[in-house]
Amino acid sequence: MKIKSLLLLCITLLITECTKVGISVNNLSENHNITITGNSISGFMDKDSRIYDMSRIPENGSIIFYSNGGIKSEGDILSYINGEWTGLTNNQWNQDYESASFIAYYPIIRDVNDLYNDDGELIDVVCCKDTISFGETINLSFTHIFTKFTINIEQELNNNIELISINIPQKLANIDLTTGKYSTTADNNNLITLNRNDNCIYEFLIPSISGMNISFDINFNDNTSENVFIKENIFKSGYEYVCNVRKKKQENGIYTTMDFIAFTHLINGETEYEGKKLEDFYTETDGRRIFNLYNDLNFTEEEAAKVSVINELDDIFDGNNHTLSNLTVNKNNNINIGIFGLISETGYLKNIILNNCSFKLQPGTYRGVASIFVGQNKGIIDNCHVINGTIDMLKDNTMYSGFTALNSPTGTILNSSISNLQLDGSHGALGIFVYQNNGNIINCRIKNNTIKNATGNNSSTICVYNSMRLYNIFVTEYKQDYYGICYENDPGHYYNCILPEEYNGKAIYSDHKSETALKKAVYYSESPDEYTRIANELNQWIEDNKSKYPELTFRKWKTNPSEKVIFE
């Protein structure tokens, strides 16, 4: 500001001098156009792990924009065309070099009545609020102003539901659109009803305030009902809060973090752990033990330290699409390291999500296979997903991976994915999904968006070494220091592996010729039309090949605005 003032003083002196000698000088002025870009929307964050996805305001979408200071706007409607927002009444910065404080909303709202739909439910509104210096480009990035509440109901219970009636005892009274602040008023008649749906998930929005006690009634077909009272009463904007509802009668299975801790010790051979026995955690069907996970589990640091690496799973472990969060694998007394060290030939691991879990090799002389999820797989891993994992790679002589370090000749991995894998230490070679594949990896998804590069020059996206089958795999994100498919294919088969076009020429380093090997890598560019084509190709492969794998069920694919192509 001082420099600009000095420049103005110099200009004034020059003008005064020129006038003295009879030269006429016009007033100087500058035009500073206002540039507004950006249309990203952050998804709702998980209150424990803060994970979220991204979406975007569509092309030709409209927002309402307020600003004061260097930019004046009192509710202009802006349209998003060719990457920029247009429609400001005054598209020039003020000449006083002031910063500007702005706020924008999508969709367009003008008062508190616009925040509710005809059924009395809050609509999802996102906003972007910031202050920028004079002349800077405004880049809009939107977040949700309300809280998302999700009720997950167990399938068997959901089958008998007629509707859910939710009591939200606070209702919005007003909103100041220039600041984004809103207030609520008590309203015990603020009820919304949601009819039964088949996916067992019921979502709605609530004001982001503290001290509000939410409850809901589940009404069943037999005219009975159950009331559920939510203990949580601090709700933050932009976060998602999840309530899991299951039958009151508790079957054998894993329900709590302490259950899971006990399970990991008991399955390794201990006869009793803090009063629990292994038979407390499984049911038996056709002579096979089935370990069921019945809740999302979020581990504290102290709890995670008590979890033992599962030496070997030769039974069925069904996660029932629940999530294990914040586990840390830090034991190195096993040859196979992961939350599940070894899945045997009869082992079956399915329907589980790992979130924000990590692996750290302890100092020592350990040399083996190491992964966050599974050290070595000889059985079947189906519909399992690793997100937001972290690996601390400290040694060059270890096989590292995010999902499974070694997939053996009898091993099959299908319908599974990895995304957002990050590195702390980076010494050694890394297979983002699998390090060495000697079995089958079929119908899987890898998002290679790690920031740090592993030091090993043979690091790869799907696997480092492939000697068997890589079929129907979609890779998103290009990283120049990773091979797109694998470092060495000998004598492996790969077919319908779909990669970003930048990998063309760097899909595989060494591809040994084999008359029986199927060699097909498919490359794509970034566009909605390409994403549709990819989803169709992946689904067509399933249709053409499912009869070859009668014992397997394949998940289909669909397009998604933020993640391009995902599982249905």
The model's pLDDT over 172-182, given as tens digits with 9 standing for 90+, comes to 999 999 999 99
Q: Does the pLDDT of residue 142 top 80, yes or no?
A: yes
User: Cα(406)–Cα(124) distance, rounded to whole angstroms?
Assistant: 44
Model pLDDT, residue 398 = 66
Q: Does the pLDDT of residue 49 top 90, yes or no?
A: no
For residue 561, cis peptide bond before it (omega within 30 degrees of 0): no
Among candidates 445, 493, 452, which has minimal Cα distance to 473?
445
- pTM score over 0.75: no
Please say whether the beta carbons of 294 and 274 come within 8 A.
Answer: no
CB atoms inside a 10 Å sphere around CB 156: 10
Model pLDDT, residue 46 = 75
Listed in sequence order, the residues at least 6 apart from 392 whose beta carbon sits closer than 8 Å to its beta carbon are 358, 359, 360, 361, 423, 424, 425
Model pLDDT, residue 48 = 56
User: Cα(415)–Cα(151) distance, rounded to whole angstroms?
Assistant: 25
Q: Does the pLDDT of residue 362 top 70, yes or no?
A: no
Among candidates 82, 99, 74, which has minimal Cα distance to 1?
99
Cα dihedral angle (256, 313, 556, 517), rounded to 10 degrees?
160
Model confidence pLDDT, tens digit, residues 236-250: 999 998 888 877 656
Domain map (residue ranges) of the chain:
35-248, 327-496+505-515
User: Cα(378)–Cα(86) distance, rounded to whole angstroms?
Assistant: 58
3-state secondary structure 47-68: CCCCCCCEEECCCCCEEEEEEE
Tokens 């349209």: give the residue. 79
- H-run or E-run covering 415: none
Among candidates 308, 318, 249, 323, which has minimal Cα distance to 273?
308
In Å, what is the CA distance from 202 to each residue of 205, 216, 241, 331? 11, 11, 12, 39
Q: Does the pLDDT of residue 444 top 80, yes or no?
A: yes
Model confidence pLDDT, tens digit, residues 383-440: 999 999 988 876 666 678 999 999 999 999 999 999 999 888 777 788 999 999 999 9
Listed in sequence order, the residues at least 6 apart from 480 whose beta carbon sits closer than 8 Å to its beta carbon are 502, 506
Sheet strands side by side (includes 191-195) = 191-195, 161-167, 215-220, 225-229
In Å, what is the CA distance from 472 to each residue of 44, 79, 189, 223, 467? 31, 40, 52, 48, 16
Model pLDDT, residue 7 = 34
Model pLDDT, residue 2 = 37
Q: Does the pLDDT of residue 358 top 70, yes or no?
A: yes
Q: What is the mean pLDDT of residues 134-144?
A: 94
> pLDDT class for 26, splitting at 50, 70, 90?
very low
Among candidates 275, 330, 322, which has minimal Cα distance to 301?
330
CB burial class (10 A; 0-12, 13-18, 19+) of residue 410? Answer: middle
Among candidates 297, 444, 434, 447, which has minimal Cα distance to 371?
434
Listed in sequence order, the residues at least 6 apart from 347 whose beta carbon sits closer than 8 Å to its beta carbon are 312, 313, 314, 315, 316, 317, 378, 379, 380
